[in-house]
Amino acid sequence: MTSTRSMSVFTTYLLILAILTAGCSSSNNFNSTLRLATTTSTENSGLLEYILPAFEKELDVSVEVIAVGTGQAIALGKSGDADALLVHAPDVEIQFIAEGHGTERRNVMYNDFVIVGPKHDPASINEMSNAAEAMIKIFVSNEPWASRGDESGTHMKEKDLWSITGIEPLASDDWYFALGQGMGATLQYANETDSYTLSDRATYLTQSDMLPFLDILIGGKNISNNPDPNLYNPYSIIPVNPSKSILVNHKLAIQFSDWLLSDETQNRIAKFRLSELGQPIFYPFVR
Amino acid sequence: MLTLIEALKESMDLILTLDQRLIDIAILTLKITLSSLALSTIIGMPIGTMLGLAGRIPARGLVMALLYTGMGLPPVVVGLLVFILLSRSGPFGYLEWLFSPKAMILAQTVIALPLIIGLTMAAVGSVNPALSQQLRALGATRWQTAKTIVAETKPGMLAAVAATYGRIVAEVGAVLLVGGNIETKTRVLTTAIVLETRKGAFALALGLGFILLSLTFTANIILLRFGNWNDSRK
């Protein structure tokens, strides 16, 4: 009696497993799936959700987005676990291409970085025009700094800026907080703890409603008011080298790259949340 | 395949050379987990014992249902609630506990409490009811009876502590939310593994994984030993 019951339970499990895996294999159809490794900023801002459906419909394909930091996206490209990368760390990208991991690198869009911090700005950096100098002032004032600490494009930019200042922050310093998390989580952290941090403008603008204690202190109201050219933030698309693995869908990656740079998509990128925020979140490269 | 072998080799190197990063993270993990374990044991064990001894309690079904739900609480939900409570816009923001080890200990204690209570209760309840009748018949007072029954359930209590330890040391969602995964401050083994894997630092991630496994293993060995020792002394 009990053995019959346990048998039927077992069969039910098998059935459920079969259904689940069936679902997986149909959505995982090799030729029609593009796996895009990208940064948290493109995903968190909602841009991909806004532009990708058109691509999926046009070519009858599906795009799987893995939103991680740029460093992690680069690692996924090197191991052949992604078909294309949409990232923002020029130096690392150039090295990635030079080492033969990607086939080409094309600029897609740009925006800028900003330094955000507590509204009352205890380090008084608001009137300054140079990010690195502002960071020195934050350091001297002994105000807390929140770092992404995850090898993302934003974290790499932050490290570049610190190297200009000549300060070498250590994770064990009592003013330096290396979170190892995405931009959204880092902004939330800064909002809760009165910390300063470096953010891409896109993510900050998207979440600013939920960040009542923060303000942009270096970077101005929009990109044309940003006083520091060091805060320029370009995004590129890189198809992964198909020699990495037979599973890399290079053909679709190239199609995706072309599609991103088409007039139509570039126009759509420029219009993304434009009317709602009064400024584009991402500026297209091709006008 | 090559990656796996390389990562295994490298992770072993990291462990054998006592890599400072690994050790620091392991120590912080132990501090936080053992604090929550101690707190939840001090609070939960007496409650579990009372519930177990009290055979008949009002609304027993409801209490049990709540307890079992508590034992299965999804850690991320606990993390979310603790986050909201400790947030600046929440009622306890003034404590400034969010993104500190205190918040992590609080979350882990909430996760651990129902487990400790439930498992203790089950251990006490599983003692042969005839024993209590016999003791009473022999003229033992209520207090003496309770004491004897509790002494009888020591291995069960130890198992409860070990199981709870295993659950909270391996927990990732709640500590990530309320701790913030801050390097050297709130980064523990589980959150470090998530981060390092995503960064592609597989060797370091694996090394951390081995340490996490060995911490659980060692603790269970100690607890089991302790339990057996008690048994053989009788």
Contact list, A72 vs chain B (CB under 8 Å): 198-200
Residue A217 DSSP symbol: E
Q: How confident is the model at residue B59 (pLDDT cuts 50, 70, 90)?
A: confident
- pLDDT the model gives residue A27: 41
Q: Using a CB–CB cutoff of 8 Å, tell me whether A77 touches chain B.
A: no
Q: What angle do CA A210, A211, A213 make, to 5 degrees?
A: 140
Same domain, A197 and A153: yes
Closest by Cβ to B198, choosing from A72, A185, A191: A72
Whether the pLDDT of residue B231 is over 60: the answer is no
Is the residue at A18 inside a domain? Answer: no
The span from the CA of A83 to the CA of A242, in Å, is: 8
Residue span of the structural domain in which A191 resides: 112-231
Amino acid type, B4 = L
Q: What is the mean pLDDT of residues B158-170?
A: 91
Q: Please check whether residue A2 lies inside any domain of the structure.
A: no
Q: What is the pLDDT of residues A81-140, one digit of tens each?
A: 899 999 999 999 999 999 999 999 999 999 999 999 999 999 999 989 999 999 999 999
Residues in B closer than 8 angstroms to A193, CB to CB, are: 98-99
Total tally of structural domains belonging to chain A? 2
In a domain, A25, yes or no: no
Answer whether residue A4 is part of any domain.
no
In this structure, are A105 and A245 located in the same domain?
A: yes
Alpha-carbon distance of A201 to A280, in angstroms, equals: 10
Mutant choice from B181, B188, B191 vs A, greatest count of A C-beta within 10 A: B181
| pLDDT of amino acid A7 | 55
Per the model's pLDDT, the better-predicted residue between A137 and B220 turns out to be: A137
Examine the domain organization and report whether A89 and A223 are in the same domain. Answer: no
Q: Is A180 close to B187, i.e. CB distance below 8 A? A: yes
Record the pTM: 0.79
Q: Which of A75, A171, A192 sits opposite B183 (nearest CB)?
A: A171
Crossing angle of helices B202-233 and B189-199, rounded to 10°: 160
pLDDT above 90 (res B113): yes
- Tell me how far apart the alpha carbons of residues A122 and B36 are, in angstroms, rounded to a whole number: 36
Query: Quick one: pLDDT band at residue B233, thresholds 50, 70, 90?
Result: very low
Say yes or no to pLDDT of B14 above 70.
Answer: yes
Query: Is A59 in the same domain as A100?
Result: yes
pLDDT number for residue A24:
45
Which among B88, B185, B195 is the nearest to A177, CB-wise? B185
Q: Which residues contact B220 (CB under 8 A, 6 or more apart)?
A: B162, B166
| Interface list for B 87-126 with A (CB within 8 A) | 87-89, 93, 98-99
- Mark whether A147 and A226 lie in a shared domain: yes
Mutate to test the interface with A, among B95, B184, B194 (most CBs of A within 10 A): B184
Residue B228 pLDDT > 70, yes or no?
Answer: no
Best mutation site among B27, B198, B204, B208 for testing chain A: the one with the most A CBs within 10 Å? B198
Is any Cβ of chain B less than 8 angstroms from the Cβ of A213?
yes
In a domain, A21, yes or no: no
Instruction: Give the model's pLDDT for residue B145.
Output: 84
What is the structure's pLDDT at B112?
96
* pLDDT per residue as tens digits for the range B82-102: 999 998 888 998 898 988 999
Q: Tell me phi and psi for residue B12, to 5 degrees.
A: -65, -40
Q: Please name each of the domains of chain B with its CATH number.
A: 2-233 (1.10.3720.10)
Chain position carrying tokens 């109201």 = A221
Pick the more confident residue, A236 or B182. Answer: A236
Which amino acid does the sequence have at A286?
V
State the pLDDT at residue A230: 94
Residue in B88, B185, B195 closest to A150 by CB: B195
Q: Which residues of A164-195 are buried (b: 16+ CB within 10 A; e: fewer)?
A: ebebebebeeeebbbbbbbbbbbbbbbbbbbb
Residue A52 lies in a domain: yes
Chains A, B: CB contacts under 8 A, how many?
A: 61
> Where among A231, A258, A276 does a domain terminate?
A231
- C-beta atoms of B199 and A71 within 8 A: yes
Indicate if A128 and A225 belong to the same structural domain. Answer: yes
Report yes or no on A264 lying in a domain: yes
For residue B116, pLDDT beyond 80? yes
Residues of B in contact with A74 (CB under 8 A): 200
Chain B contact probe: residue of A145, A174, A179 with most B CBs at under 10 A: A179
Q: Are residues A245 and A255 in the same domain?
A: yes
What per-residue confidence (pLDDT) applies to B232? 45
pLDDT for residue B197 = 80
Residue A155 pLDDT = 94
Task: Name the pairing type of β-strands A33-38 and A145-147.
Answer: unpaired
Which of A69, A78, A189 comes nearest B180 by C-beta? A189
Domain end point (choices A204, A231, A258): A231
In this prediction, residues B168-175 reach a mean pLDDT of 94
Per-residue pLDDT at B170 exceeds 70: yes
Which pLDDT does position A10 carry in this prediction?
A: 59
Q: CB distance A192–B191 less than 8 Å?
A: no
Q: Which of A133-137, A217-221, B108-112, B141-145 has the lowest mean pLDDT?
A: B141-145
B88 to chain A: which residues are within 8 Å by CB? 191-192, 213
Same domain, A199 and A277: no
Across the interface, of B3, B99, B191, the residue whose CB is closest to A193 is B99
Mean pLDDT of B23-30: 94
State residue B154's pLDDT score.
86
DSSP states of B177-204:
HHH---TTTT--HHHHHHHHHHHT-HHH
Contact B88 A192 (CB under 8 A): yes
C-alpha dist (Å) from residue B190 to A19, A127, B33, B109, B195: 31, 42, 12, 17, 9
Residue B187 to residue A192, Cβ atoms within 8 A:
no
Query: Do A273 and A251 sit in the same domain of this protein?
Result: yes
pLDDT band at B55 (very low <50, low <70, confident <90, very high): low
pLDDT score for A28: 44
ipTM of the complex: 0.71
pLDDT per position as a tens digit, A26-51: 444 557 899 999 988 888 788 999 99
Q: Which residues of chain A have pLDDT under 70?
A: 1-30, 287
Among A278, A270, A271, which residue's Cα sits nearest to residue A110?
A270
Tell me, what's the pLDDT at A18?
Answer: 55
- Whether chain B has a CB inside 8 Å of the CB on A193: the answer is yes
Tell whether A184 and A122 lie within a shared domain. yes
Task: Say if the Cβ atoms of B199 and A69 lie within 8 Å.
Answer: yes
Does A260 share its domain with A123? Answer: no
CATH number for A116: 3.40.190.10
Residue A154, in any domain of the structure: yes
C-alpha Rg value of chain A to the nearest Å: 22
Q: Are residues A275 and A182 in the same domain?
A: no
Residues of A in contact with B182 (CB under 8 A): 171, 177-180
Residue A127 has a pLDDT of 87
